[in-house]
Amino acid sequence: MAGAVMIDLGSFVRDVPDFPKKGIVFKDITPLLSSGAAFHEAVARLADRYRGRMDTILGIESRGFIVGAAVAYALGVGLTLVRKPGKLPAETHSAEYALEYGTDMLEIHRDAFERGRRVVVIDDLLATGGTATAAVELVTRLGGQVVECGFLVELSFLRGRARLAPTPVFSLIQYAAA
């Protein structure tokens, strides 16, 4: 991408007030995904960052599947899926994580990749870091090495990056305030 004019990817993220509940400003990436140029550039930036540094991409359900699959395809590597409970057909490992009100869980196939694999965790958005932390735990449990967690959008004011430490974090778009 050297010498190319870079698209302002943040201009393709739409604010949706009071979604999913009053007081929340939802960062909607669907305009970015629906723009061929913006989606292509986002995938290219992530692929350029990770080229030669990892063996597999791990996509977190569900928008992480979209971004992760595109990055894996661009790099010619495999895609590993982390899903909500009960969605994977073979034996799984699970990791629970805290939500604002309660807990949730993610699962990965026990044979998702071989020990020692270098893994990049991809999701659409980093907020508090709970989901990504659970994904990192699952990679580690399988004997993988998390190279980095990569996101399209980071809500840095929610300090998810700190929760993921010492795992390196990269995001294409950052929001410092709500």
Q: Which amino acids are annotated catalytic?
A: 63, 100
Two structure tokens written together for 75: 């790099």
Two structure tokens written together for 118: 């270098």
